[in-house]
Amino acid sequence: MGARLALSRKSFQPHCRINVKFMDDVGIAEGAVDTGGPKREFFALVLDYLHDSGLFVGPEGSKFLTYSSSAMEKDDFFYAGMIIAMSLVHGGPAPRFLSRTLFQALIESPEMTTVTTDEVPDLKLRENLQKVLSGEVPEDLEDIIDMAGSRCILATPENAQQMALDTAHWYIFGRTRSAFERFKDGLKTLGIYSAMLENKEYFLDVMCHQNNPTTAEQIKEAFRPVLHPPGSNKRSTENLILCLWENFIFDTEGVGKIDEHSGTSLEKILFFSTGLKSFPPLGLKPTPTLCFLHDPEDSGELSKFPKANTCTNQLFLPTIHTTFQNFKCHMVFGVCASAGFGLP
């Protein structure tokens, strides 16, 4: 609601620098100045919200637009397209959850886009359309066929197939056409829609799900260690911690997307460090760095847990641990116990 309110202001300019402040449950803003981290986290959270909202339906990573009169009244489909466009331009994450069929319709037109009955997200309707393919028209499908204008005499298998496909097409694009047009208008913000038309293959990867999850090697390459001179005591400690760090991220990758025992993942590590759950299309700016917690805390002791500055993409590793198990245990706790913006 707060995002929609800001976007709907007449004074709002999507091309201007964005400043984000998060509020706690009693309306008090967190004290950090937004130099990038809160903004990235904001876009990540809003895109997660859109993915699970009632504006989109369908399986994970392959969403279609749905229709909602209340959402149309509030112009939510326009704002959904607008926030996606702004995220891409302002260094936020890519959506990567639109279906390829929806993407094709955006690039060409709904009329030039083929829809299969398997793509219909409503299970009951999908089952009934499968029955139409066999020459049967269930009674509870009559009204939808009439609304779709797809009724025909089922004299041949080809007639049945055409009626099923026409009905599926109407359900995906016909009944949602006004939502589709407003969503497309939102994507025109900051020239994103024009860029989509000119760079179809690139934006296919940006808008639609791709089976290329974040890897440990990507994280290793992305975070540049800030090291003391060779031969110093601190450099010796940093070399050990770097070894533990690399073992930690590759160990996390090895147990799958989410470690069943610890609950951590490479996406959570990246989110903890940068405010993003995946690498953005425009890359991370500033360049992420690995730093080391050599100095004691206010208590006089070295920190056992990692810290992060998502504004500057800095991850601070504890230097007190000498074994992998201790390092991993405290890294997992620090990452998983600090959901949201701020230091653990």
The two structure tokens encoding residue 329: 């245990």
Quick: pLDDT tens for 229-268. Answer: 999 999 999 999 999 999 999 999 876 544 455 678 999 9
User: Are β-strands 314-318 and 224-225 bridged in parallel, bridged antiparallel, or unpaired?
Assistant: unpaired
CA 74 to chain centre: 23
Q: What is the pLDDT of residue 31?
A: 46
Amino acid at 85: A
Q: What is the DSSP letter of 110?
A: G
Q: Quote the pLDDT of residue 262.
A: 60
Q: Is 311 a catalytic residue?
A: yes
pLDDT of residue 38: 79
Q: Are 222 and 284 in contact, with CB atoms under 8 Å apart?
A: yes
Is it the case that residue 89 has pLDDT exceeding 80?
yes
Q: What is the average per-residue pLDDT within 190-194?
A: 96
- CB-based contact 288:223 (threshold 8 Å): yes
**DSSP state letter for 172:** I
Position 300 pLDDT exceeds 70 = yes
Per the residue annotation, which of 152, 208, 291, 311 is the catalytic one? Answer: 311
* pLDDT at 149 (0 to 100): 79
Q: Whole-prediction pTM value?
A: 0.75
Confidence label for 342 from pLDDT (cuts 50, 70 and 90): very low
Who contacts 227 (Cβ-Cβ below 8 Å, separation ≥6)?
235, 238
> What is the arithmetic mean of pLDDT over 312-318?
95
Give the fold, CATH level 3, of 216-337: Hect, E3 ligase catalytic fold (3.30.2410)
Query: Residues spanned by CATH 3.30.2410.10 within the chain?
Result: 216-337
